[in-house]
């Protein structure tokens, strides 16, 4: 029979000299370096097609958490998502093309755009253009296809009353 072992606890002392921030930064970098590549691989895996929306939802939450931990970022070194920027941006833009992953893709893009120092002006413009293209095509679909058969269908009604 295996012997029972006592749980091991690790204590990281907190001191005012700033070492707590170093531990947090290290954990953040480590977490992102493992989670982001895993989630992006899941998104592009054809076997995970039904899970694209939930995968992007998790990725969007991770982006928001990374953004919130770098709100005071003064330079690019403090933005832990920076090494994965292109990969994540590509996955989120691809997510805009499918209805099941549209909302989490927009949430993720919002998180990236609102992360200080992460995207430059040209990249932000690219994101805005892609989201605008999706919004325009969604409006055309609502006005052209669904609304012609039933003017009071839920999609058209919300479009009519939207400010």
Give the pLDDT of the chain (163 residues) as one tens digit per residue: 444 554 443 433 434 444 444 556 677 788 899 999 999 999 999 999 999 999 999 999 999 988 888 766 666 677 889 999 999 999 999 999 999 999 999 999 999 999 988 999 999 999 999 999 998 887 666 565 544 444 444 444 333 333 3
Q: What does the pLDDT read at residue 160?
A: 33
Dist. CA 71–CA 144, nearest whole Å: 42
Measured CA to CA in angstroms, residue 3 lies from 6, 46, 138 at distances of 10, 44, 62
Q: What does the pLDDT read at residue 70?
A: 73
Dist. CA 17–CA 140, nearest whole Å: 57
> For the chain, where are the alpha helices, taking DSSP H only?
19-44, 52-69, 85-95, 99-113, 121-141, 147-149, 154-161
Q: What does the pLDDT read at residue 14?
A: 38
């Amino acid at each position: 029979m295996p012997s029972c072992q006592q749980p091991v606890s690790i204590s990281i002392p907190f001191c005012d000299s700033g070492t707590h921030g170093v531990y947090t930064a290290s954990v953040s970098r480590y977490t992102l370096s493992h989670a982001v590549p895993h989630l992006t691989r899941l998104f592009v895996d054809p076997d995970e097609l039904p899970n694209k929306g939930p995968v992007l939802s998790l990725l969007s939450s991770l982006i928001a958490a990374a953004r919130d931990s770098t709100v005071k970022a003064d330079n690019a070194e403090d933005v832990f998502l920076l090494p994965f920027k292109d990969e994540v941006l590509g996955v989120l833009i691809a997510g805009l093309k499918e209805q099941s992953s549209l909302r989490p893709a927009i949430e993720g893009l919002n998180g990236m755009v609102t992360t200080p120092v992460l995207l430059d002006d040209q990249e932000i413009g690219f994101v805005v253009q892609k989201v605008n293209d999706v919004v325009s095509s969604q409006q055309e679909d609502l006005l052209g296809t669904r609304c012609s058969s039933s003017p009071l269908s839920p999609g058209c009604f919300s479009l009519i009353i939207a400010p």
